[in-house]
Amino acid sequence: MSDPTRPAGPKIIAIANQKGGVGKTTTTINLGAALCEMGHRVLVVDLDPQGNASTGLGVDDRPYTTYDLLLDDVDLSQVILPTGTENLSLIPATVDLSSADIELFSNEKRSFLLHDSLRQKGIDAFRFDVILIDCPPSLNLLTVNAMVAAHSVLVPLQSEFFALEGLSQLMLTIREVRQSANPDLRIEGVVMTMYDARNNLSQQVEADARANLGDLVFRTVIPRNVRVSEAPSYALPVLAYDGSSKGAAAYRALAQELLAKNEKRAA
Ligand code: ADP
Ligand code: MG
C-alpha cells in the first residue's frame, strides 16, 4: 500500500455486514493492528453508536466523535485520537451517533458527509495508509456513508447457520451505492470469522461461501479463539494482548493476504 503508483491518499475500507455479532468490530481492530505491525499507518473510524471499536481500543475519553465530524463540521485534527497501539489512530463514536441516521436525512449531502470529511485537506498531514470504517449492524444511512466514502467493502461472515442469508441484501446495497454515488466501489473480500474447525457446521458454511462467492472469500479464516474475545476487556487488540494466539496469527495472515491482493491488482 506504499505503492508509489497508487493515487495519493489512504485506501479506505468499510467493514460491513448488517448482522450484529459477526466480527465487524473485532476485524476492524485486529486487522488494523496487524497492518500497523507491518509498518502501515492506520485510522479506524468508529461508525457504530455502540462505540465498541472505541472501547476495544481503550479510548474512553471522547471529546469529539464521528457525529461531530459528520454533522458539526469539527475539524479532523480535533476528532482523530491516538490509541495505545503505535500508528493506530481512532475517530471514536458514542451513543450520540444513534440519532445521526435521522438527522442526516434532512441534509442535502447526506450520503457524502463521511466521504467529504475523510477527504479534507488536513488528513494528508496524518499520512494514513489505510482507513478502516467499523459499520453499525444495519444497512442505514451511516453504512451508506461508509460505502460512499470507501474504495472497498470487507464483509466478515460468521461461520454459522444463516450466515449467507443476509448477504444478498448487502450486495444489493453495494450495487445501489455503485449506481448512485460510488461507481468504483469494490468488494475487498469476505472473511470467515469465529471458525471452529471441529464443527461440521463451520466447514459447511465455509464450503457454501466458497461455492457461492468463489475468490471473493479470503483464504485466511479467523478461528474462534478465546483470546480474541478476551482482548477487548483489556482494551487491547489481540495482537497486543496475546501476540502468539491463534487469533493474532490469523489477523496477521489476513492483513498479509489483503496487501498481497491489492499489490496484485495494482500490478
Ligand atoms: P460485530 O461488530 O459484527 O457486532 P464483534 O466483532 O463485536 O461483532 O463480535 C461479536 C462478539 O464475538 C464479541 O464478543 C467478540 O469478542 C466475539 N468474537 C469475535 N470474533 C471472535 C473470534 N474469532 N473468536 C472468539 N470470539 C470472537
Ligand atoms: Mg461492532
Atom of ligand 1 nearest to the CA of 20: 4
CA of 36 to the centre of ligand 2 (A): 20
How many domains are there within the chain? 1
**pTM for the model:** 0.96
Please list the pLDDT of the chain residue by residue as tens digits (267 residues). Answer: 544 544 568 999 999 999 999 999 999 999 999 999 999 999 999 999 999 999 999 999 999 999 999 998 798 999 999 999 999 999 999 999 999 888 888 888 999 999 999 998 889 889 999 999 999 999 999 999 999 999 999 999 999 888 888 899 999 999 999 999 999 999 999 999 999 999 999 999 999 999 999 999 999 999 999 999 999 999 999 999 999 999 999 999 999 999 999 998 888
What residue's CA is closest to ligand 1, atom 10?
Answer: 21
**Cβ contacts of 135 within 8 Å, gap of 6 or more:** 14, 15, 16, 17, 24, 47, 48, 142, 143, 146
Whether residue 4 lies inside any domain: the answer is no
CA of 8 to the centre of ligand 1 (A): 33
Atom of ligand 1 nearest to the CA of 17: 3
CA of 228 to the centre of ligand 1 (A): 8
Whether residue 215 lies inside any domain: the answer is yes
CA of 25 to the centre of ligand 1 (A): 7
**First-last CA distance in the chain:** 12
Decide: helix, strand or coil at residue 190: strand
249 CB under 6 A from ligand 1? no
Closest CA to 69 of 96, 87, 38: 96
114 CB under 6 A from ligand 1? no
Whether residue 104 lies inside any domain: the answer is yes
Q: Is the complex ipTM more than 0.90?
A: yes
Q: Are 241 and 169 in contact (CB under 8 A)?
A: no
CA of 248 to the centre of ligand 1 (A): 14
**DSSP-assigned letters across all residues of 30-79:** HHHHHHHHTT--EEEEE--TT-HHHHHTT----SS-HHHHHHS---HHHH
228 CB under 6 A from ligand 1? yes
User: In the block, which residue shows the cell 471473493?
Assistant: 216
CATH number of domain containing 140: 3.40.50.300
Whether residue 1 lies inside any domain: the answer is no
Look at residue 27 in the predicted model and tell me its pLDDT.
98
Atom of ligand 1 nearest to the CA of 48: 2
Closest CA to 180 of 117, 236, 238, 115: 115
Whether residue 5 lies inside any domain: the answer is no
Whether residue 186 lies inside any domain: the answer is yes
Whether residue 245 lies inside any domain: the answer is yes
CA of 45 to the centre of ligand 2 (A): 12
Domain of 249 in residue numbering reads as: 11-266
Look at residue 160 in the predicted model and tell me its pLDDT.
87
**DSSP-assigned letters across all residues of 127-188:** T-SEEEEE--SS-SHHHHHHHHH-SEEEEEEESSTTTTTTHHHHHHHHHHHHHHT-TT-EEE
163 CB under 6 A from ligand 1? no
Atom of ligand 1 nearest to the CA of 29: 6
Whether residue 3 lies inside any domain: the answer is no
Give the number of the ligand closest to the Cα of residue 20: 1
Atom of ligand 1 nearest to the CA of 222: 23
24 CB under 6 A from ligand 1? yes
9 CB under 6 A from ligand 1? no
